[in-house]
Structure 1
């Protein structure tokens, strides 16, 4: 969403709004959260929120997803180790919001074309860039003979993560072991030639 021309936004107000939204999401859940409650908790007027976010969903999106800093992990020396680091980052970012927030938010985001475009251009793009760099490293090392399509590899990572977190409701304590198993399983598939069928060329 473009920032309106005028006075620079106050970063302290931005931070207060985001912190209030996260606190209230934890206390009340996604469906019950209101802009009025966030404004009161943040100590700002509703107008301050609506100058920044056109809708409640955009406000929540900014608080729990939009500002995520998902950088590509340092080179760990192998495709499996690099994928494990990426998966752990994705799992952490999706598991951090209170239960119910991510499914509810994603349903509303994808019902709004503007929010969906913002989501794809920020959170999804950051993840896809990480996946691409990890795959390019593997090709440079000689681990992979061809570059797999990063969109397909990304989907193969995200599907099990979403199933684990939001469909199967497995124990959160098992997430680290799950992330490593997922990354090593996909690396094994790619090493075994499965990636040839997913190549970009």
Structure 2
């Protein structure tokens, strides 16, 4: 039920804003959303997963933009990542989720199987379009592209807390796109 899914995420985000990560509970979220704790646990296996969805990722990822070029698609994705990571909720959630992952490996497994898989599917779509347009001979490793773009954004926004405006994002994307082209050309010569 999409209505209940949205109500749960809205309730979790409201509580996150009001009381902070540490004080959000599944019971309070269920009460605020007008549902049961069991209904929440059917969707999210942990508080970390719920608050990551509510504060960073959202329930329905937006399909990757088709701008007509690999660079444009990566730039549009980078803008969305920047927007998602720059919210107060994301800044509140990220350090707690990172800490939770170090304590509970199952949280990392779940985040990979739910959120990382979705993000990589979006990158697959971007890379496949680039191949169809002739910008790449073959799709590069999706996980590597994900780590490079997502890692750059996470490090800049969450770790060193520096702004990343469109000009800087463009430089990051230029390096990534150029590297993909160089890697692709060198791989073609090795065949």
Q: Which TM bucket (shorter chain)? A: 0.7 to 0.9
Instruction: Structure 2: give runs of 5+ residues left out of the alignment.
Output: none
Range 115-124 or range 10-19, more displaced: 10-19
- CA separation of 1:149 and 1:143: change in aligned 2, threshold 3 A: same
Q: TM-score, normalised by structure 1?
A: 0.74
- CA separation of 1:131 and 1:43: change in aligned 2, threshold 3 A: closer
Q: Which residue of 1 aligns with 2:168?
A: 178
- What SS does the aligned partner of 1:99 have? helix
- How far is 1:129 from its partner? 1.5
Q: Are 1:148 and 2:140 an aligned pair?
A: yes
Q: Equivalences for 1:63-82 in 2 at 5 Å?
A: 63-64=54-55, 65=57, 67-74=59-66, 76-82=67-73
Distance 2:126 2:50 in 1: 32
More helix by proportion, 1 or 2? 2
Alignment match of 1:31 (pick from 10, 19, 22): 22
Q: TM-score, normalised by structure 2?
A: 0.78
Q: Equivalences for 1:26-175 in 2 at 5 Å?
A: 26-40=17-31, 42=32, 44=34, 48-53=36-41, 54-64=45-55, 65=57, 67-74=59-66, 76-96=67-87, 97-109=89-101, 111-171=103-163, 174-175=164-165
- What SS does the aligned partner of 1:72 have? coil
